[in-house]
Amino acid sequence: MTPEPAPAPAPPPAPLRFPRGFLWGVSTSAAQIEGAVDEDGRGPSAWDTFAAGAGRIKDGSDPRVTTDHYHRYREDVALLKELGVGAYRFSVAWPRVVPDGRGAVNAAGLDFYDRLVDALLAAGVAPVPTLFHWDTPQALEASGGWLRRETAEHFAAYTDAVAARLGDRVTRWITLNEPAELTLLGYGLGQHAPGRQLLFDALPAAHHQLLGHGLAVQALRARGATDIGIANSHGPTWPASDSPADTEAAAFYDLLLNRLFAEPILLGRYPDDEIAALLPGPVADDLKTISAPLDWYGINYYQPTKIGAPTTEATDFLGVRLPPGLPFAPREITGRPRTGFGWPVVPEALTELLLSFRDRYGAALPPVMITENGCAYDGIEDPERIAFLDGHLRALRTAMDAGVDVRGYFVWSLLDNFEWAEGFGQRFGLVHVDYTTLRRTPKASYRWLRGVVAEA
């Protein structure tokens, strides 16, 4: 019998192509990479305090050194230059600039960001500072943190101080990173700093962060800034079934994690009158500040979420312990590869998300930036991360071809880092960090992305 011919090999995937001027970047945050928590007059942050508590960080680590970016930033800038990206999204540590969160500005803390910005510009990499990435100054947290309206006002004053020092060289700014996660995990469930367990009484923290965003936009505009956005986390919410109970629960989850943080900014209103009634202060007037026009809207995307009707038991959900009694309960997404963190890998959900934003918000949606997208895997040879990034870039391109105006894409993250309550157990970096020697070693995914950026 004549053997059947072997099947023809699958054609190679089409090259990734993006428009001229598309912005390629990588992201980090101060609390996760800087270290040097006791240097140059920096004050303690809520994360320093939280990590010092027994049992709060899975591996017992803390952010005192992390990757020591504070002292090794020149080495990290060289890695950025070699990678070929056009922008570096980092965060400014509020307690390094204003140690108590209010009052005197610490010039020595600002000096570090002066040096970093100058080094980036010399390397041909645009600095994109995020003004707040969860590291609330502990002195403010001790007096209520984001549950208090005054914190938003102090944040605006701090923003002005940073813009006054760096605004002659920095053109693109991000106000906040992921206020939804700080509200839910930090104030609602207590699994991140500041460790409060307020459930729905955490909602004032959401409103005050959004107000802080709006006040920061005002401060930046007053300093002449013309390129401002926010980095909000979003993902599609899928009902577990077509049953009314599941669809109602999914709609509420979508409102709480997506619409509650997008619509005040994009539409100038909260998506639910009952939730708006729970928020403090002159909400209608605050919304006028919160909805000040942005130059672009940043989306952090990692995975979709499947939601069903509530259960009477606590639920483990993507590393988070959800208590019973919530009006929704997560369900497992099956049949998908998973990252080292256990998150499902669903690139096409990024297309779905972007198309849903286009359809829901229409002309109210400014140009979009993907301000975070990435995955945790071990190993320096990391084919899983390459497959993840390739799939998500193709999904992004599909959304762009369908008319979504996306201007840039930032990978999370440049370096392995202190991954919050997980400690050093999850590695998101394009560059491997040996946490004993602090040696940096570019991974296969770093080399792959360098090729994509060069050819795109």
**Which residues are known catalytic residues?**
178, 372
Taking the C-alpha atoms of residue 231 and residue 362, their distance in angstroms, rounded to an integer, is: 19
Read off the tokens for 351. Answer: 């297309």
Ramachandran area for residue 35 (φ above 0: left; ψ -120 to 50: alpha; else beta): left
The two structure tokens encoding residue 428: 């998101």
* Residue 381, both tokens: 């040879």
3-state secondary structure 153-218: HHHHHHHHHHHHHHCCCCCCEEEEECHHHHHHHHHHCCCCCCCCCCHHHHHHHHHHHHHHHHHHHH
Residue 352's H or E segment, with its range, is helix 348-361
Distance CA 209, CA 177 (A): 10
Secondary structure letter of residue 301 according to DSSP: -
Interior CA angle at 372 toward 320 and 216, to 5°? 95
19 and 456 Cβ atoms separated by less than 8 Å? no
Distance CA 446, CA 386 (A): 9
* Calpha distance 92→76 (Å, rounded): 16
Contact 205, 184 (CB under 8 A): no
The residues near 4 (Cβ < 8 Å, ≥ 6 apart) are none
